[in-house]
């Protein structure tokens, strides 16, 4: 009988990850959850199979189920065929996912091979910021992300860089001070930049305000203003009556 979950090295490169829809290469470690495949119209019996996904795509809920069924990530069926190092790495990945730890080299989804980042001062004033759409003036700090099919570089003001982008850069280069370009800055300025980058990593992603919500708040403010104005007018009338004896 097939186990509910299995973790193993892919035997071929034919399987696809059900989360990212990307190909799972042969020998890559994959996670399978058992499903029942219905018999075909031409006959045959129902049989079980697996839906596959990259290990780093496992959900918190699946991690909890693994612990419920097997008491330990390392006791998940299939793990016994992996090396001690591989088992430790997988256990760390699943542990981080379950606890909601930030992205690290252990549980980060691999980036495209041509991905690269750089922090530098703009060499000219021709590039525009991908976030605010304003020109990045010469000498201004900027963050470049290179990749994609065209292998082009998209620039942002350093202050416009997202937490996700900085997490990717940290994962790719291991340490913040290893991000290309930082080594060209004087030590004092470099340390200041690393401090600024750390603040980005520790920041919370801003939540976008709904336009409807903003409009509703604005409308409520207008209503409140009208009510206050009416109250003021009534108060003036009442005071006049007291003064005139009406």
Number of other CB atoms surrounding residue 32 within 10 Å: 22
SS3 43: strand
Helix, strand, or coil here: 189? Answer: helix
Residues 185 and 223 in one domain: no
Separation CA 69–CA 126 (nearest Å): 58
Mark which of 99, 125, 151 sits at the end of a domain. Answer: 99
What CA–CA distance (Å, rounded) separates 17 from 196? 36
Confirm whether 76 is domain-assigned. yes
> Quick one: tokens of 175?
């340490």
Backbone angles phi, psi at 239, to 5 degrees: -65, -40
Position 107 in a domain: no
| Within-domain flag for 109 | no
- The position carrying tokens 């001070």 is 177
In the chain, the number of structural domains is 3
Q: How far are the Cα atoms of 22, 23, 45 from residue 73, in angstroms, in the given order?
A: 24, 24, 33
Helix (H, G, I), strand (E, B) or coil at 1: coil
Of the three residues 69, 99, 129, the one that is the final residue of a domain is 99
At residue 14, the 3 state secondary structure works out as coil
Q: What is the pLDDT along the chain (246 residues), one digit of tens a residue?
A: 788 899 999 999 999 988 878 888 888 889 999 988 766 655 666 678 899 998 878 888 888 889 888 888 889 999 999 999 888 888 888 887 777 654 444 455 667 778 899 999 999 999 999 999 999 999 999 999 998 777 789 999 999 998 888 888 877 887 777 889 988 888 778 878 888 888 887 776 554 444 444 344 344 444 443 333 343 444 434 444 444 444
Determine the 3-state secondary structure of 218 from DSSP.
helix
Range of the domain at 185: 116-202
- Strand order across the beta sheet in which 152-157 lies: 116-121, 141-147, 152-157
Q: Are residues 15 and 94 in the same domain?
A: yes
What is 93-137 written as a DSSP string? HHHHHHHTPPP-TTTPPPPPTT-EEEEEE-SSS--B-TTT--B--
- What is residue 40's predicted lDDT score, i.e. its pLDDT? 60
Residues 194 and 223 in one domain: no
């Amino acid at each position: 009988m097939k186990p509910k979950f299995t973790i193993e090295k892919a035997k071929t490169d034919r399987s696809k990850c059900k989360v990212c829809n990307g190909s799972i290469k042969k020998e890559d470690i994959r996670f399978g959850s058992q499903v029942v495949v219905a018999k075909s119209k031409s006959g045959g019996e129902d049989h079980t199979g697996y839906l596959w996904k990259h290990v780093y795509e496992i959900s918190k809920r699946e991690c909890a189920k693994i612990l419920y069924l097997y008491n330990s990530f390392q006791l998940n069926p299939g793990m016994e065929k992996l090396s001690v190092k591989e088992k430790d790495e997988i256990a760390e990945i699943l542990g981080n996912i379950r606890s909601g730890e930030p992205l690290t080299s252990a549980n980060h989804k691999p980036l495209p091979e041509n991905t690269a980042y750089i922090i530098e001062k703009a060499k000219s004033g021709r590039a525009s910021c991908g976030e605010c759409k304003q020109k990045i003036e010469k000498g201004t700090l900027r963050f470049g992300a290179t990749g994609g099919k065209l292998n082009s570089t998209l620039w942002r003001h350093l202050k416009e860089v997202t937490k996700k982008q900085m997490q990717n850069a940290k994962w790719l280069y291991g340490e913040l001070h290893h991000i290309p370009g930082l080594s060209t800055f004087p030590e004092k300025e470099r340390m200041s930049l690393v401090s600024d980058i750390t603040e980005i990593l520790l920041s919370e992603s801003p939540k976008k305000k709904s336009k409807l919500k903003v409009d509703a708040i604005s409308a409520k403010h207008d209503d409140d203003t009208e009510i206050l104005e009416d109250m003021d007018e009534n108060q003036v009338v009442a005071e006049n009556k007291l003064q005139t004896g009406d």
